[in-house]
């Protein structure tokens, strides 16, 4: 079987997908060939596995996809995939510099309502993606004109956080584990996380819901999918195998040691979640688009 990773070697997607593949190999007694296809920000890999024969032998990484269609890069929609399972989610968080006057998410909202362009906000990577889409959805609901918000792309979260520590930006949007080194050095502070509850590893970081009275959940996520048209019985068997791999001691230990969130959604739950992701991304990107 072939498993396509839509990111390069050495990153979080590569680590988590290969970790899962090892457990699948062990459980199914069948070799998995893991192929990295990161070209065009993952469009190449996603295109290749969604165009494969729907026999269940070629699968790939499913992750935020709606932005590709909305930016004209590809035409992915929920119907472009046969969802199998989600195995990871890492919530977005809002980070500021050590000496920032911004002490809470409420402070950020108030500042941006007064002047939407007043803060330099690093997307922690490509904009219109995992970290900024849920944050912008929050701002829309709070009455901020997101078309005027000053979003700045970065060459990954590490680069954005270094810029934050040096005072080049006011906010970085990325996951909490990515801030560990700079937070330990006292150079950055995390003022809110977009999860349903506080993360066990970061009990001092309050959720958005705690701060403003309404929960906002979002960030990056990873799962397994195949091309459209896989027989439901075949998809169910693959889902069961992925669940056994997910529940294995080795997979859970590996995810915990590297700070990745082990979150399970079966194929029906993942299918519904993909529709929600598509709707949220569409709403935000239409709001951000310049008005003629």
Report pLDDT digits (tens) over 66-123: 999 998 999 999 999 999 999 999 999 999 999 999 999 999 999 999 999 999 999 9
What is the CB-side half-sphere exposure of residue 182 using CA atoms within 13 A? 24
pLDDT band of 230, cuts 50, 70, 90: very high
Each residue's pLDDT tens digit, 153-187: 887 788 889 999 999 999 999 999 888 889 999 99
Query: Which percentage of the chain shows pLDDT scores above 70?
Result: 99
CA distance 76 to 74: 6
Residues 6 or more apart in contact with residue 29 via CB below 8 angstroms:
none
pLDDT band of 214, cuts 50, 70, 90: very high
Which strand ranges, in their side-by-side order, compose the sheet holding 188-193?
150-152, 120-122, 171-174, 93-97, 188-193
CA distance 84 to 94: 31
Please report which helix (H) or strand (E) contains residue 171, including its range.
strand 171-174
If one compares 125 and 204, the residue with the highest pLDDT of the two is 204
pLDDT of res. 291 = 58
- Structure pTM? 0.82
Is 133 in contact with 284 (CB distance < 8 Å)? yes
CA distance 90 to 106: 22
What is the CB-side half-sphere exposure of residue 83 using CA atoms within 13 A? 23
Please report which helix (H) or strand (E) contains residue 265, including its range.
strand 262-265
DSSP assignment of 6-71 equals SS-TTSHHHHHHHHHHHHHHHHHTS--EEEE--GGGGHHHHHHHHTS-SSSSEEEEE---HHHHHT
Each residue's pLDDT tens digit, 25-47: 988 888 999 999 988 888 999 99
CA distance 223 to 243: 11
Chain position carrying tokens 């906000």: 121
pLDDT of res. 290 = 66
């Amino acid at each position: 079987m072939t498993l396509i990773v839509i990111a390069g070697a050495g990153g979080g997607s590569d680590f988590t997908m290969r970790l899962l593949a090892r457990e699948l190999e062990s459980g199914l007694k069948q070799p998995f060939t893991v192929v990295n296809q990161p070209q065009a920000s993952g469009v190449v890999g996603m295109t290749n596995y969604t165009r494969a024969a729907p026999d269940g032998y070629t699968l790939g990484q499913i992750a935020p996809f709606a932005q590709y269609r909305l930016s004209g890069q590809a035409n992915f929609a929920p119907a472009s995939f046969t969802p199998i399972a989600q195995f990871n989610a890492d919530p977005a968080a809002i980070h500021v510099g050590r000496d920032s006057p911004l002490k809470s998410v409420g402070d950020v909202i108030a500042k941006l309502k007064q002047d939407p362009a007043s803060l330099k906000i690093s997307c922690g990577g490509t904009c219109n993606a995992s970290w900024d889409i849920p944050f912008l959805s929050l701002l829309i609901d709070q009455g901020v004109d997101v078309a005027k918000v000053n979003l700045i792309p970065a060459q990954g979260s590490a680069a954005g956080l270094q810029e934050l520590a040096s005072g080049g930006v006011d906010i970085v949007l990325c996951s909490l584990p990515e801030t560990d080194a700079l937070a330990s050095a006292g150079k950055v502070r995390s003022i809110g996380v977009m999860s349903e509850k506080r993360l066990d590893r970061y009990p001092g970081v309050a959720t958005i819901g705690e701060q403003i009275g309404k929960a906002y959940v979002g960030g990056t996520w990873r799962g397994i999918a195949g091309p459209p048209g896989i027989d439901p019985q075949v998809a169910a068997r693959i889902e069961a195998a992925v669940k056994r791999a997910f529940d294995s001691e080795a997979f859970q230990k590996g995810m915990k040691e590297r700070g990745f969130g082990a979150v399970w959604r079966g194929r029906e739950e993942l299918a519904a979640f993909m529709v929600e992701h598509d709707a949220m991304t569409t709403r935000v990107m239409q709001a951000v688009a310049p008005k003629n």
